[in-house]
Structure 1
Amino acid sequence: MGLRVAVVGATGNVGREMLEILSERLFPADEVIALASRRSMGSEVSFGDKTLKVKDLEQFDFSGVDLVLMSAGGDVSREWSPKIGATGAVVIDNSSAWRMDPRVPLVVPEVNPEAVHGYEKLNIIANPNCSTAQLVVALKPLHDRAKVKRVVVATYQSVSGAGRDAMDELWNQTKKLYVGDEIVKEQFTKQIAFNVIPHIDVFMEDGYTKEEWKMMAETKKILDPSIKLTATCVRVPVFVGHSEAVNIEFEQPITAEEAQEILREAPGVMLVDRREDEGYTTPIECVGEFATFVSRVREDATVENGISLWCVSDNLRKGAALNAVQIAELMLNKGLFKRVRAA
């Protein structure tokens, strides 16, 4: 029996990616409904070889819907996810609204699949932050082997993480620089074209940004609360694909060769690590791929039991849409959807 699935925020970057991945992975849906705000009602989005007419979220009846993939922002999710969950549908939310709520599991299927069983309190499951998702996929198999003690990570995050308007701003600024026109800043605090900005989300009292705090808090919730993590999150002039330079201190000894062997067999990881020109992965190569790519694995001689590595992933996929669909697949395999379970 197929499911009845709704995608909220279907006209956005991640919503469109959710529809594409549902089609690519042949998710067993009898019906897929595209939902968005009233101003998008009647517009069209692609689902495989079909075209879906977008319906108004506020007028839609969720009775009989099994699964809702929510990618419409935190405010919309805070208002609508509990209402939808109360109808019996399971909401997998891509915003930050529910990630740290103790009643809501925060899930990366390759890392903590067992956490999905906690969804029934609110019928909501949270998707992690895009930069956290790829990080914990790389950390998990190494943590199982040598126990991660401390992580220092610098992220190089693409503009697609800030939405379609941010991608347009990079494109428009780049064109204007070539012809000498005035640069307009609307989505970012500084010029993004040919620049890097060490500022994602709002600043907190301790000097970290909210994005950096998310990586710290979410890694603890998903992987291990004892892990110490510090992050510097940077926006870079790349359209799609987040990169991370990761330094890991372990409790137990581990060599670079052991880490490579572990990562080579790890679920969700693609190891591309040849110590030669082009023997590593960059954001361009990861676009459209499902894997989290790991390269440049090497020992850090400045700390005991230290490893450094480079991690790249398509942030619209593993960092958002793919992870949400993988959670849905995990639930389906465990027989957790009520209508399927009853059948």
Structure 2
Amino acid sequence: MGYRVVVAGATGNVGREMVNILAEREFPLDEIAVLASSRSQGEQIEYGDTGKMLKVQNIEHFDPAGWDMALFAIGSEATKVYAPKFAAAGCTVIDNSSLYRMDPDVPLIVPEVNAAAIDGYKARNIIANPNCSTAQMVVALKPLHDAATITRVVVSTYQSVSGAGKVGMDELFEQSRNIFVGDSAEAKKFTKQIAFNVIPHIDSFLDDGSTKEEWKMVVETKKILDSKIKVTATCVRVPVFVGHSESINIEFANELSADDAKRILREAPGVMLIDKHEDGGYITPIEAAGDDATYVSRVREDPTIENGLNLWCVSDNLRKGAALNAVQIAELLGRRHLKKDG
């Protein structure tokens, strides 16, 4: 027997990727329903490379009773309306928005990092998926924290435009094309021109001068990994279509050499270490696009602090940062709590 699974927001970038990954990983399904707003009702979505077509249903009229789990990629406002309805009907919600991440009754899960925390999902029947930049970072940090206890993290991100959705990707494409033909590159989605530029601003500004994206990385890392870790972040949008990169400086309570860190990372779940001291001996977003791994490169000791390392971390934000992590949560939920006979 398999599960009855819903993908809500199936016509968006992340929702489509969720559907593809369910097919790729041969998730045990008895039935799948794909939902979106009334604007997309009736559209057809292919179930991976299977040739099977799925008809999009209107989420407003969908009855979640009898469905096992729902993967949500519909944004915070719609999630606020529909997640409680699905959860109350007995359909466990795995939510990709930021709405429930810091709710103490909702587990915030990266399966390679804090799988056991999923056991608390019954309080709300909702599980939260972390921010894309947080997800890849904690996958890289977890095995190092277990080895030497991380006390402080300083991270600068280089985040692709796909993190802002299809409109962000379209804006980069259109601006780049316009610049080449001499037309204006007007900013619409972003606050400044993104083509051939970088923007040190993602999400809204907070009173202390940081942005909400930076705040998310701080509080989510603490909730997922260890509340005692100090985190400071600078989040930057760069003209890359898919794939987030991060430059991470880590301070430890105990000594950890670069060689030992590499040995640990080679064996770590979800991590792929590519670190050769030669031209091209590292991973960039282009190589990471379409892959499941969190790639780590440029591991080296920081001589300015007693126990410090620097590393470079790259991942496909639409996959590990969103869709893949949600499907991995669904797999974990099935294994630990929703086991099917057969």
The answer to whether structure 1 residue 158 and structure 2 residue 160 are counterparts is yes
1:203-234 per-position Cα deviation (integer Å, ceiling 9, x unaligned): 00000000000000000000000000000000
Return the offset for 1:45.
Answer: 1.2
The answer to whether structure 1 residue 319 and structure 2 residue 321 are counterparts is yes
Q: Output the CA distance in 1 between the equivalents of 2:277 and 2:185.
A: 40
1:174 maps to a residue whose letter is: S
Q: Output the CA distance in 1 between the equivalents of 2:338 and 2:93.
A: 11
Q: Output the CA distance in 2 between the equivalents of 1:228 and 1:274.
A: 30
The answer to whether structure 1 residue 11 and structure 2 residue 28 are counterparts is no
Q: Which runs of 5 or more residues in structure 1 are unaligned?
A: none
Q: Output the CA distance in 2 between the equivalents of 1:324 and 1:115.
A: 15
2:20 maps to a residue whose letter is: E
> Pairwise CA RMSD of aligned residues?
0.9
Q: Output the CA distance in 2 between the equivalents of 1:304 and 1:209.
A: 30
Matching residue of 1:51: 53
The answer to whether structure 1 residue 337 and structure 2 residue 338 are counterparts is yes
Q: Output the CA distance in 2 between the equivalents of 1:94 and 1:265.
A: 28
Return the offset for 1:64.
Answer: 1.0
Q: Output the CA distance in 1 between the equivalents of 2:132 and 2:46.
A: 23
1:33-56 per-position Cα deviation (integer Å, ceiling 9, x unaligned): 110000110111111221111000
Partner of 2:112, secondary structure, is coil
Q: Output the CA distance in 2 between the equivalents of 1:80 and 1:237.
A: 34
1:29 maps to a residue whose letter is: L
Q: Output the CA distance in 2 between the equivalents of 1:279 and 1:312.
A: 14
Please point out which of 232, 246, 249 is paired with 2:248: 246
Matching residue of 2:204: 202
Q: Output the CA distance in 2 between the equivalents of 1:163 and 1:111.
A: 26
Matching residue of 2:268: 266
Partner of 2:155, secondary structure, is strand
2:38 maps to a residue whose letter is: R
Relative to the length of structure 2, the TM-score reads 0.98
Partner of 1:54, secondary structure, is strand
1:125-154 per-position Cα deviation (integer Å, ceiling 9, x unaligned): 000000000000000000000000000000
Please point out which of 163, 171, 183 is paired with 1:169: 171
Q: Output the CA distance in 1 between the equivalents of 2:33 and 2:187.
A: 35
1:102 maps to a residue whose letter is: P
Return the offset for 1:333.
Answer: 1.5
Partner of 2:33, secondary structure, is strand
Matching residue of 1:179: 181
Q: Output the CA distance in 1 between the equivalents of 2:260 and 2:80.
A: 44
2:260 maps to a residue whose letter is: E
Return the offset for 1:331.
Answer: 1.3
Q: Output the CA distance in 1 between the equivalents of 2:292 and 2:185.
A: 35
Relative to the length of structure 1, the TM-score reads 0.98
The answer to whether structure 1 residue 289 and structure 2 residue 291 are counterparts is yes
1:25 maps to a residue whose letter is: R
The answer to whether structure 1 residue 93 and structure 2 residue 80 are counterparts is no
Identity of aligned residues (%): 64
Please point out which of 197, 217, 224 is paired with 2:226: 224
Return the offset for 1:81.
Answer: 0.7
Range that drifts further, 74-83 or 294-303? 74-83
Matching residue of 2:107: 105
Q: Which runs of 5 or more residues in structure 2 are unaligned?
A: none
Return the offset for 1:305.
Answer: 0.3
Q: Output the CA distance in 1 between the equivalents of 2:148 and 2:185.
A: 49
Q: Output the CA distance in 2 between the equivalents of 1:166 and 1:337.
A: 37
Q: Output the CA distance in 1 between the equivalents of 2:335 and 2:213.
A: 32
The answer to whether structure 1 residue 328 and structure 2 residue 302 are counterparts is no
Return the offset for 1:155.
Answer: 0.2
Return the offset for 1:67.
Answer: 0.9
1:99-126 per-position Cα deviation (integer Å, ceiling 9, x unaligned): 0000100000000000000000111000
Partner of 1:114, secondary structure, is helix
